[in-house]
A = this chain, B = another copy of it.
Amino acid sequence: MARRGNLMSVRPDIKVLDCTIRDGGLCNNFEFTDEFVRELYKTNVKSGVDYMEFGYKASRALFNEEEYGKWKFCKEEDIRAIVGENISDMKISVMADVGRCDYKTDFLPKSESVIDMVRVACYIHQIPAAIEMIEHFHELGYETTCNIMAISQAHADQIDEALSMLAGSSVDVIYLVDSYGSLYPENAGDLVKKYLKSVEDTNKQIGFHAHNNQNLAFANTIETLSYGVSYLDATALGMGRGAGNCAIELLLGFLKNPKYSLYSLLTFIEKFMVPLKQEVVWGFDLQYMFTGQLNRHPREAIAFTDEKRKDYCEFYKGLLEND
């Protein structure tokens, strides 16, 4: 499969999705001020961002609303308090986790909601459950995605089967999600070619969501896009769980479509993200590099960070022992 376009091309199929509030919310318990979210919304509109994700639609039966910021639940009225009717061209997405979302009761029909797209996140063995949700959201009138997480631990035959099931579903976009940040551009490229092949006789699109454990989030994003991935997740200053995500400022600086404006984004980054980075910890560090190299969930690295440990060697030895 050849590259699609080159470094000078404008690809109209490309959609940049800002998930600062959603993935970044995993770093600060979704406790963003309304001012922050409103300014980010206005910034994304001005910067030409195509989708902004506001957070999760988590089950209020499973999670106590008192213990989290509101963007873990993304109530309709909370989103509307920021965007009104969202008269902009930018679309709004929320994420719904398989098994952690009361999807039958918590979603209005699209005609009554300001949300445009629901992204269903699942592990590969949850594909049947994900498809049930996707069909429900599709019937309600939403655009849908399926974000298959932790793909670096799935087997090739599982991936083939999952892609074939999704190709037969109503889903609009299938996401390759490098949850552990353990893919190199070479295997991210190989994997995504498989995804692209699986939808080539459909009008479905492929997306990519990176983590920066090996400092490859941006590199993997532009590698996969070069083969035809259209939906690109990114966050301001790379804010996201653990080592964070693809930094949107790197991505907008790379894309050649003149609709994207890096400068508009910078004003937000300078005023809101740089100060936030002083309070909330995320981003590339050795402990995340280890879990990425070992293709493991970053939970131990997150705990190491929370405990402000600096004994990298002991930590690494511990990882090797319980590998």
Contacts and interface: CB of A to CB of B under 8 A. Distances in A.
Q: Is the interface of A mostly helix, strand, loop or mixed?
A: helix
A321 to B, nearest CB: 12
A210 to B, nearest CB: 11
A270 interface: yes
Q: How large is the interface on A (under 10, 10 to 19, 20 to 34, 35 or more residues)?
A: 35 or more
B222 A218 contact: no
A218 B215 contact: yes
B214 A216 contact: no
Interface string A245-289: 001011001100000001100110110001000000000001001
A184 interface: yes
Contacts of A310: 270, 274
Contacts of A184: 7, 222, 254
Contacts of A7: 184, 186-187
Contact of A266 (B218, B247, B316): B316
Interface of A: 3, 6-7, 184-187, 214-220, 222-223, 226, 247, 249-250, 253-254, 262-263, 266-267, 269-270, 274, 286, 289, 293, 310-313, 316-317
